[in-house]
Amino acid sequence: MRARSEQVNLRLNQKEIRRLDVLARRCNLTRSAYLRHLINGMVPKEAPPTDYYRMMREIHAIGNNLNQLVHRVHCTGELDVVRIEAAIRELRQSIQVITKEIIEPAKHQNVILSGASAAEESSGGDPGFKESLFGECFHEESQ
């Protein structure tokens, strides 16, 4: 049995369907997957450049070399262990930041759902929510 048993029929004009196709294609997602991300409050990021994976392999190789150095340090005591371990932590954090910035979809705070009833349901009476001319609900963030 499919995990998603409900189906929604959505009518779009030519311009809207082309826009949806372009946005989904940029993210290497299907139309359905792209829309599910949006419904769940996530804005999919564009697929990373082709060099991203090569760079990540190189960074992982550097991290592996650092791990080997740390192992050698522990065995021989010749190098500054604290300094090397700090470098390894920094490398791992860099990998996480690169991955988060390039790959992972970001939480979107502005667009919540379409429709007035959706605004009423999702805002919980929040006065910061306003409905646009297109029926989309936007959250005005305080400045």
Is the confidence at residue 32, as pLDDT, over 80?
yes
Nearest to 133 by CA among 108, 112, 114: 114
Q: What are phi and psi of 114, to 5 degrees?
A: -100, 150
Sequence-separated (6 or more) residues with CB below 8 Å from residue 60: 95
Domain ranges in the chain? 7-47, 51-102, 109-143
* The one-letter amino acid at 38: L
Q: What is the pLDDT of residues 35-91, one digit of tens each?
A: 999 999 999 988 888 778 878 888 888 888 888 888 888 888 777 777 778 888 888
